[in-house]
């Protein structure tokens, strides 16, 4: 049986556009004499559609689309992900489904059993749990069709009560197919392969895994579809972070492929550029604007934006204050010239003085404080948003995860933006990204990379004045936020108790700020936003 793996980039709710992609792939597979073409989870509507699934007319549109796609399936079988209601049940019984299309119609529908409700997933909010376990015969091959989580019954935190593959194995399947929408994060490819290899080896069956590719605001899907033989060995590997329609013949012998190791920072760079490009492309945005401070964060964002949407489409705004060093301005100017970006210099001292004058009666006799520092940050935001509104440039945010974790950012100031590029990237990783960006040439000046981090909102200010050194800070943050380790256990690793307690207190007290932050490109296993939902009012 010749199988086409259709790893496509869908747009959520673009049912017609997604259907056209699916139909085009089916036609191409027919021309290649494929017997079967497999698409990813919820391909018709894109994953995740969230509360659109609560709209009956949205479900009706998906059903109409899958019926139309089925009409094109003559001489080929297609398996397409789509939300479907079970017509044999009363009430609104919606399932995450894999539709088997053949001879111009829907010949079978397989429902998803395991509905993830952790991290970024919330499928139990919308779907019912499958309780029917069967195989589907495709070209004489008894096939176990599963959907994403159905292969992940053993989790680190818990075991699901049901094991869908074990339940369907009583019907003696000869092939496992999995339609997936598994988002990217660092380490996910390795974790995913462990699951696939284990399932293939356990049941001694070849496994065809087709994953979605593309970015949907914060979630980035890497694709990386694979085929495993009955010994759990990789015999086919699709591209990562790119659409890929590839073909695999089960009847032929295929050499074993060794899984490649990609450097963490190289993969991080690839994921961020891909996420930016897809966000701008799907939203129809052409140009970006950002504040360029001469610091490491804005420099890395500026380079990533240039790689993602083109240097000509990135405009940097240099907004020195009376506390900015001359080096910061010259570094920011040189960076724009190196990257080929246009830039504007707008000093903010006059705006800051105007605000000071307006508040002079109310603030009379009070010392310079955080209020004056934040006025500067918010003055910059006003300029950036004015440029965005007037010229149609989309403002991108430059804050990193370390700063967002401890509230080292200003609401309605440097937290502004339509998309947070580095909000899931710790400061130490930002430096590593800068070095990676400079791997072939010094696009980011060394003076920026080696400069002591500073917000430059008061004389001689340094981040280290109020925060631990970033290597210590990031260690604490990774353990507490991403590994969810008890603070006492962090202290036992040899980190000063007062430092740990201070950092944890800052994290917990800054939730109200993060609640108002822009969406963040997710690249870790625990990102702020939909993946870490915490109460705003809490005594924890």
Instruction: Respond yes or no: is residue 148 known to be catalytic.
Output: yes
Which is catalytic among the residues 73, 99, 102, 112?
112
| E strands, 121-266, in order | 136-138, 141-147, 175-180, 207-211, 213-216, 219-222, 226-228, 234-237, 244-249
Residue pair 146/133 in contact (Cβ under 8 Å)? The answer is: no
Which is catalytic among the residues 21, 41, 287, 429?
41
**Nearest CA among 297, 331, 317 for reference residue 437:** 297
Q: What is the largest CA-CA distance in the chain?
A: 86
DSSP annotation of 480: I
- The 3-state secondary structure of 74-134 reads CCCEEEEEEEEECCCCCCCCEEEEEEEEECCEEEEEEECCCCCCCCCCCHHHCCCCCCCCC
Residue pair 160/114 in contact (Cβ under 8 Å)? The answer is: yes
DSSP string, 386-397: HHHHHH-PEEEE
As a whole number of angstroms, the distance between CA 230 and CA 227 comes to 10
Residue pair 254/248 in contact (Cβ under 8 Å)? The answer is: yes
SS3 213: strand
Residue pair 416/378 in contact (Cβ under 8 Å)? The answer is: no
Residue pair 165/150 in contact (Cβ under 8 Å)? The answer is: yes
Residue pair 480/505 in contact (Cβ under 8 Å)? The answer is: no
Q: How far is CA 471 from CA 144, 407, 430, in A?
A: 48, 17, 12
Instruction: Respond yes or no: is residue 41 known to be catalytic.
Output: yes
Sequence-distant (6+) residues with CB within 8 A of 533 are none
Which is catalytic among the residues 45, 73, 99, 148?
148
| Distance separating the N- and C-terminal Cα atoms of the chain | 57
Q: Kindly list the catalytic residues.
A: 41, 112, 148
């Amino acid at each position: 049986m010749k199988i086409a793996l259709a790893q496509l980039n869908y747009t959520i709710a673009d049912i017609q556009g997604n259907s056209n992609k699916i139909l085009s792939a089916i036609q191409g597979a027919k021309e290649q004499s494929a017997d079967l073409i497999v698409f990813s989870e919820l391909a018709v509507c894109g994953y995740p559609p969230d509360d659109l699934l609560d709209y009956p007319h949205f479900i009706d549109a998906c059903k109409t689309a899958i019926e139309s796609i089925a009409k094109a399936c003559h001489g080929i079988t297609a398996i397409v992900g789509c939300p479907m209601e079970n017509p044999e049940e009363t009430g609104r019984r919606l399932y995450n489904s894999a539709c088997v299309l053949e001879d111009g119609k829907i010949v079978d529908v397989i429902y998803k059993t395991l509905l993830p409700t952790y991290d970024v997933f919330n499928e139990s909010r919308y779907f019912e749990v499958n309780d029917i376990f069967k195989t589907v015969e495709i070209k004489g091959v008894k096939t176990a069709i599963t959907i994403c989580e159905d292969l992940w019954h053993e989790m680190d935190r818990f075991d699901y009560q049901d094991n869908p593959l074990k339940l369907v194995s009583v019907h003696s399947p000869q092939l496992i197919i999995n339609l997936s929408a598994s988002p990217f994060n660092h380490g996910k490819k390795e974790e995913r392969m462990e699951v696939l290899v284990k399932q293939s080896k356990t049941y001694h069956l070849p496994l065809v895994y087709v994953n979605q590719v593309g970015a949907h605001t914060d979630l980035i899907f890497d694709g990386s579809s694979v085929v495993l033989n009955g010994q759990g060995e990789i015999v086919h590997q699709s591209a990562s972070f790119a659409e890929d329609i590839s073909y695999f013949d089960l009847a032929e012998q295929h050499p074993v492929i060794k899984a490649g190791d990609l450097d963490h920072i190289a993969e991080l760079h690839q994921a961020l550029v891909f996420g930016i490009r897809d966000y701008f492309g799907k939203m129809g945005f052409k140009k970006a604007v950002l504040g360029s401070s001469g610091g490491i964060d804005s420099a890395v964002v500026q380079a990533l934006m240039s790689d993602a949407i083109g240097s000509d489409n990135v405009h940097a705004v240099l907004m020195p204050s009376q506390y900015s060093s001359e080096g910061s301005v010259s570094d920011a100017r040189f960076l724009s010239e190196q990257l080929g970006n246009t830039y504007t210099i707008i000093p903010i001292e006059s705006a800051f003085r105007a605000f000071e004058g307006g508040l002079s009666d109310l603030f009379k006799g009070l010392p310079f404080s955080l209020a004056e520092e934040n006025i500067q940050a918010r003055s910059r935001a006003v300029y950036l948003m004015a440029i965005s509104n007037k010229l149609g440039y989309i403002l991108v945010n430059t804050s990193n995860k370390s700063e967002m974790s401890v509230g080292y950012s200003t609401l309605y100031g440097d937290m502004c933006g339509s998309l947070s590029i580095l909000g899931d990237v710790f400061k130490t990783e930002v430096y590593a990204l800068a070095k990676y960006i400079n791997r072939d040439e010094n696009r980011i000046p060394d003076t920026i990379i080696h400069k002591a981090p500073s917000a430059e909102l008061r004389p001689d200010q340094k981040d280290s004045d109020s925060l631990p050194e970033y290597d210590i800070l990031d260690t604490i943050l990774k353990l507490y936020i991403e590994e969810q380790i008890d603070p006492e256990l962090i202290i036992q690793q040899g980190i000063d108790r007062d430092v740990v307690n201070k950092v944890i207190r800052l994290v917990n007290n800054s939730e109200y700020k993060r609640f108002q932050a822009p969406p963040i490109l997710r690249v870790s296993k625990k990102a702020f936003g939909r993946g870490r939902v915490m109460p705003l009012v809490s005594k924890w």
